[in-house]
A and B are shown apart, each in its own frame.
Chain A
Amino acid sequence: MAAGAPDGASSKSDIYAGNGPRLMLPVWVFIGLFLLLPVALMGVYSFLTKEFRGGVIWDFTLTAYDQFFLDRGLFGDDPAKIEWTYIGIFWRSIWQAGMATIMCLLIGFPTAWFIATRDAKTRSIWLFLITIPYWVNLLIRTVSMKFLIRDTGPLNEFLMWSGVINEPLGLINTNFAVQLGLFYSYLPFMVLPIYAAVERYDFSLSEAAADLYANVWTILRLVILPVVKPGIIAGCILVFVPSLGAFLAPDLLGGAKTFMIGSLIEEQFKGNAGNWPFGAAASMILLSIVMAVLLIYARSQTKGDK
């Protein structure tokens, strides 16, 4: 409560600051109804008993989490061991998403830097250009990437025609193809926040560092990167989180040979498995991982501001 409202009434300054309780009410209702409630529902479902071929029975149980973490053999009656299957699937997804994030960062940072250092008019043209592909549906873009890199696609045909290679590169249906697809899907999410940070960057800081005997690489490492770090971290989160749950790129470019988190969860709701509580439990575990990453980030931020 603001200091200026001792008797509990909202003060005028509160209202002008956008904090009036009545003004915020619709927002809280909306968030509660369409953001928090579905997550809560998912949390509840993860503790329910599965109904055969989809659906739930309202008996509370830990079966879904048991299935996730404990291996009881193909027939369910071996002594319980740690189940590595799903942890493995999660780890693979994290690794894939991490690689995609690194690729986005390596390409996205110079791109953002280039755009942010153009003059104001060309800057908006570049920004527009980089977002153009994203007006096309993600599915179509992923399919296009598949057409491009398949063994009989234009990339391989060009390289073979020009004599650079004799055999197709064999990119399709590999982990690298998945990373490439994720990279292409989420590059702007890396470029835009870094662009925003670089655009605010005070270039006299670079001059000051050069003046204080720092060469170009030292300036990048000790001044530019730390100062635009919030943009980089925001970009990494924006790329990493959706990559983690992606299933289009793994299915289309990776050949769907192995489950990713996204396809594992999808299988529980749409596939033969039809195990809703298990899908909900996997989603909750995924959500917990993401929340943990974000909390660690938030913690490091507040520490840095002290």
Chain B
Amino acid sequence: MKHLLTATAFVLAIAGTASMAGTAHAEGKLSLYHWFEYIPQDLLDKFSKEYDVDVTMDTFDSNEALLASLKAGKLGSYDLAVPGDYMVDILRQEGMLDTFTAAEMPNLGNIEDQWLNVPFDQGRKSTIPYQWGSTSFSVNRDVYQGPIDTTDIVFNPPEELKGKINVLDTSGETLTLASLHLGIPQCTSDRTQLKALNDLVMNAKQYWASFGSDIAKDVLVSGDAAVGMIWSGFSAKARAEGANVEYAFPKQGYIVWMDNVALLKDAPNRDNALKFMNFLLEPENAAAVTNYANYSAGVKGVMPFLTPEVANSPESNPPKGQKGVFVQACPEEVQVMYDAIWTNLKK
């Protein structure tokens, strides 16, 4: 239980984790395993009502927590989970995904072309897009007015930002951003490059105030941090909550990710799960999630349903020419070294 909920989000979280949408005597059931604070309750209620299905939802706070929980015996009790891109690969390798046919997913055609043939699920046989966005960092413009389109802000910050930086407490995203800063490939096994990566983060740590993922937005809003590694939608929320923050698209690159609704193996309510997936591919419903989470849907025709703020959100509209990369799932012998660097960083 690592995740932090802000005091205001606490009530929402209780409603989320413990939600029992619909009436108690519904026709069917649906068991979701989802990120915290990532789906509007209204949308769950709407599905429950339309299909007469009881939806129960548990939440997790990182892709790794999702994997650990499924490995520890939860597979078979959930119908759907929402893994990130590289985790889809891992879940398939672990044999935890079921597949569906095109006939079972009438709304498959609603998926935007660029998200239909993705490397982690060619032709969309087990998953559909949920939301996609980017991971980078945001800077409080009251504190620092200089250019922010560089990862130096995090790894080699100007004087006024030193000691005021929060980085995400997940080695995957933080070490990937560090790799982009150095211009080295992900999952490299080159010793010189790994040594450089280790030295970079070890040196940068002195500038960092804290490590935290679920506090990423909160520290920016409260002013505890002037720079925060953050997901694009979270940054938009921080902005909406009054923080004068600007989300950066650094020239060294930034991380792109996509969360996907995945049909789990041994789903107890497979039919309802497929209904829910189709439901989420309706432009109106996909837009509802986007309006809530401030990311992008990956579904055609959502535009008319988006609020203008979300549609025009600077966090969701990267400048042309700046490249986004997916985090890669490294092979075991390489991952061990990344783990060692991370442990070394926090010893």
Question: In the bound complex, do residue B337 and residue A75 qualify as a contact, i.e. CB atoms below 8 Å apart?
Answer: yes
Can you list, as one digit per residue, whether each of B209-222 has a CB less than 8 Å from chain A (1) or not (0)? 11110010000001
Assess whether A88 is interfacial by the CB under 8 Å rule. yes
Given contacts A172-B224, A256-B212, A266-B2, contact A85 B336 (CB under 8 A): no
Can you list, as one digit per residue, whether each of B187-207 has a CB less than 8 Å from chain A (1) or not (0)? 000010011001000000100
Shortest CB distance B93–A (Å) = 9
Residues on the B chain within 8 Å of A252, using CB: 4, 212, 215
* Interface members, chain A 251-279 (any B CB < 8 Å): 251-252, 255-259, 264, 266-267, 269-275
Question: In the bound complex, do residue B224 and residue A151 qualify as a contact, i.e. CB atoms below 8 Å apart?
Answer: yes
Supplied contacts A152-B224, A259-B343, 13 more A-B pairs, CB within 8 Å: A53-B94, A76-B336, A139-B1, A140-B7, A150-B224, A152-B223, A248-B1, A255-B210, A257-B210, A269-B68, A272-B170, A274-B64, A275-B339
Assess whether A106 is interfacial by the CB under 8 Å rule. no
Given contacts A54-B71, A270-B62, contact A251 B347 (CB under 8 A): no
* Interface members, chain B 297-347 (any A CB < 8 Å): 332, 335-344, 346-347
Partner of A257, one of B10, B68, B208, B343: B208
Assess whether B117 is interfacial by the CB under 8 Å rule. no
Question: In the bound complex, do residue B7 and residue A150 qualify as a contact, i.e. CB atoms below 8 Å apart?
Answer: no
Q: Is the interface of B mostly helix, strand, loop or mixed?
A: helix
Shortest CB distance A133–B (Å) = 15
* Interface members, chain B 1-17 (any A CB < 8 Å): 1-2, 4-7, 10
Chain A interface residue count, Cβ-Cβ cutoff 8 angstroms: 40
The listed residue with most B CB atoms (<10 A of its CB), out of A53, A247, A275, is: A53
Assess whether A113 is interfacial by the CB under 8 Å rule. no
Partner of A74, one of B90, B171, B195: B195
Q: Which residue of B lies closest to A273 (CB)?
A: B339
CA A152 to CA B62, docked complex, whole Å: 29
Question: In the bound complex, do residue B68 and residue A85 qualify as a contact, i.e. CB atoms below 8 Å apart?
Answer: no
Can you list, as one digit per residue, whether each of B58-69 has a CB less than 8 Å from chain A (1) or not (0)? 000010110110
Q: Which residue of A lies closest to B166 (CB)?
A: A255
CA A147 to CA B208, docked complex, whole Å: 19
Assess whether A52 is interfacial by the CB under 8 Å rule. yes
The 8 closest A-B pairs by CB, nearest first: A255-B210, A256-B211, A52-B332, A85-B347, A152-B223, A273-B339, A272-B171, A259-B346
Question: In the bound complex, do residue A152 and residue B68 qualify as a contact, i.e. CB atoms below 8 Å apart?
Answer: no
CA A248 to CA B10, docked complex, whole Å: 16
CA A75 to CA B342, docked complex, whole Å: 13
Residues on the A chain within 8 Å of B169, using CB: 251, 256
Residues on the B chain within 8 Å of A89, using CB: 347
Assess whether B172 is interfacial by the CB under 8 Å rule. yes
CA A24 to CA B90, docked complex, whole Å: 48
Shortest CB distance B166–A (Å) = 8
Residues on the B chain within 8 Å of A43, using CB: none
What interface size band does chain B fall in? 35 or more
Question: In the bound complex, do residue A173 and residue B209 qualify as a contact, i.e. CB atoms below 8 Å apart?
Answer: yes
* Interface members, chain B 152-193 (any A CB < 8 Å): 166, 169-172, 191
Assess whether A98 is interfacial by the CB under 8 Å rule. no
Q: Which residue of B lies closest to A254 (CB)?
A: B210
Residues on the A chain within 8 Å of B211, using CB: 255-257
Q: Which residue of B lies closest to A253 (CB)?
A: B210
Shortest CB distance B84–A (Å) = 13
CA A230 to CA B209, docked complex, whole Å: 41
Question: In the bound complex, do residue B209 and residue A274 qualify as a contact, i.e. CB atoms below 8 Å apart?
Answer: no
CA A53 to CA B92, docked complex, whole Å: 13
Q: Which residue of A lies closest to B212 (CB)?
A: A256
The listed residue with most B CB atoms (<10 A of its CB), out of A252, A259, A270, is: A270
Question: In the bound complex, do residue A256 and residue B332 qualify as a contact, i.e. CB atoms below 8 Å apart?
Answer: no
Assess whether A143 is interfacial by the CB under 8 Å rule. yes
Q: Which residue of B lies closest to A258 (CB)?
A: B346
Shortest CB distance B241–A (Å) = 14
Residues on the A chain within 8 Å of B339, using CB: 272-273, 275
Residues on the A chain within 8 Å of B64, using CB: 53, 270-272, 274
Shortest CB distance B209–A (Å) = 5
Residues on the A chain within 8 Å of B62, using CB: 270-271
Residues on the A chain within 8 Å of B65, using CB: 270
A sample of 28 cross-chain residue pairs with beta-carbon separation below 8 angstroms, ordered by A number, consists of A53-B94, A53-B335, A74-B340, A85-B343, A86-B347, A143-B5, A143-B7, A150-B222, A151-B224, A152-B222, A251-B169, A256-B346, A257-B205, A257-B210, A259-B343, A259-B347, A267-B343, A269-B68, A270-B65, A271-B62, A272-B171, A272-B172, A272-B335, A272-B338, A272-B342, A273-B339, A273-B343, A274-B67
Residues on the B chain within 8 Å of A85, using CB: 343-344, 347
Question: In the bound complex, do residue A256 and residue B210 qualify as a contact, i.e. CB atoms below 8 Å apart?
Answer: yes
Shortest CB distance A261–B (Å) = 12
Can you list, as one digit per residue, whether each of A234-260 has a CB less than 8 Å from chain B (1) or not (0)? 000000000000011001100111110
* Interface members, chain B 96-110 (any A CB < 8 Å): none
Partner of B71, one of A55, A75, A140, A256: A55
Q: Which residue of B lies closest to A84 (CB)?
A: B347
Given contacts A88-B347, A143-B7, A255-B210, contact A74 B341 (CB under 8 A): yes
Residues on the B chain within 8 Å of A270, using CB: 2, 62, 64-65, 68
CA A85 to CA B344, docked complex, whole Å: 7
Q: Which residue of B lies closest to A83 (CB)?
A: B347
Question: In the bound complex, do residue B209 and residue A75 qualify as a contact, i.e. CB atoms below 8 Å apart?
Answer: no
* Interface members, chain A 118-172 (any B CB < 8 Å): 139-140, 143-144, 147, 150-152, 172
Question: In the bound complex, do residue B68 and residue A274 qualify as a contact, i.e. CB atoms below 8 Å apart?
Answer: yes
